Amino acid sequence: MRAARLVVGVLGAALLGVGAWLLLDDVRELAGVAVWLAGAVVLHDAVIAPLVLLAGLVLGRGGLRGPVRGALIVAGALTVVALPVLLRPGPPANPSVLPLDYPRNWLMAVGGVVAVTAVLVAVPRWIVRRRRRSSS
């Protein structure tokens, strides 16, 4: 196990080095990456984190609090990753670059998060109700 961790760590560090080399190799891209990263931090701090905290306050101590907050975090992360594609104006110059319908796929992913959250909330409540019925 220790050898596997060492190999994975070395491979990860090597890939990190390759990524840094490629990023620094094209200095023009560095400004765009910096702007995108700054925007992601602002979006997280101004939108995602307050929504998650507000959901925790509104939901109180019930069984909804954890799953809903988790769903907001995951949906927010999906949205941050998809924003460049969702906000791009019009079709790309090269249709093979973005061949899929990304807004539809983003909606499907967020819908999946909502569905999993609904199951995580509904199943424990259903089990509790069923146990109460059988014990009475």
Q: Model confidence over 42-83: pLDDT tens digits?
A: 888 898 888 888 887 887 777 788 888 889 889 988 988 888
Phi then psi dihedrals of residue 106, to 5 deg: -65, -45
Phi then psi dihedrals of residue 26, to 5 deg: -115, 90
The reply to whether 116 falls in a domain is: yes
Q: Which residues contact 130 (CB under 8 A, 6 or more apart)?
A: none
Q: At what angle do helices 65-87 and 27-43 cross, to 10 degrees?
A: 140
The reply to whether 2 falls in a domain is: no
Q: What is the pTM (predicted TM-score) of this model?
A: 0.63
Cβ(78)–Cβ(135) below 8 Å: no
Alpha-carbon distance of 45 to 129, in angstroms, equals 39
The reply to whether 22 falls in a domain is: no
Helices assigned H by DSSP within 26-100: 27-43, 49-59, 65-87
Please state the domain count of the chain.
1
- CA–chain centroid gap for 61, Å, is 24
The reply to whether 63 falls in a domain is: yes
Which domain does 62 fall in, by range?
27-89+97-135
Structure confidence by residue, pLDDT tens digits, 76-120: 889 888 887 888 767 767 777 777 788 899 999 999 999 999 999
The reply to whether 59 falls in a domain is: yes
